[in-house]
Chain A
């Protein structure tokens, strides 16, 4: 059974204080690992897809990396508008597989 564990559950940062969010996963063959951002009362918004160990992707202040067992979402010099819940999900490489999500990390960036 595919499993995704995210840590920490919640993280409070000062504006400009860089940090990383962790996503540990077990999957029977990885088709893709996804990061989403979710604002309160809204649906998840796609950020990145990572396919293989060693891959990195960047978007503004966010950088996602992938190993065989973990993914990290690095946030550099965050701003208050980066406050949201960040979700990690995996899709197995077997037929018509669906997404398995972690419970998310709630990030609060204070000015």
Chain B
């Protein structure tokens, strides 16, 4: 059974640009969550999508957005990149129903903003 797939693995962008990251969840999983991981803050929750709807949102500025497609694949977008957005962006999928337990993570996208 294929795991969670994130593309691309690495990205280098310039300040002010925008970027789109992609995540394909485990087959049958309907929930996709995004996390930002930095050395200083650890893993911080960005947002969660379930059945194409944003169900939860973390405390990040509006420059961070996402969406989910009918096949459960998800994308996140960061506009007007800042140096502080350099991080490992992780996607996690789960079955997503109420009471659903646990998440499986992808390998992440390493974003470097220069």
Contacts and interface: CB of A to CB of B under 8 A. Distances in A.
B33 to A, nearest CB: 6
Interface residues of A, number: 24
Interface in B98-114: 98-108, 110
Interface string B37-75: 000011111001010000110000000000000000000
Given A44-B90, A87-B43, A96 B102 contact: no
A49 to B, nearest CB: 6
B83 to A, nearest CB: 20
A96 to B, nearest CB: 5
Interface string A24-47: 000000011010100001111110
A46 B102 CA distance: 9
Please classify the interface of chain A as helix (H, G, I), strand (E, B), loop, or mixed, using the class held by over half of its residues.
strand
Nearest to A32: B101
B45 A98 contact: yes
A43 B102 contact: no
A102 to B, nearest CB: 7
A65 interface: no
For A32, A95, A98, A99, the residue with the greatest tally of chain B CB atoms inside 10 Å of its CB is: A98
B29 to A, nearest CB: 14
Contact of B101 (A44, A49, A103, A104): A49
Given A32-B102, A87-B43, A89-B43, 14 more contacts: A34-B102, A36-B105, A41-B108, A42-B107, A43-B6, A44-B43, A44-B105, A96-B50, A96-B55, A98-B56, A99-B33, A100-B45, A101-B43, A103-B41
A87 B105 CA distance: 13
Contacts of B108: 41-43
6 contacts: A36-B105, A41-B110, A42-B108, A43-B105, A91-B101, A96-B50
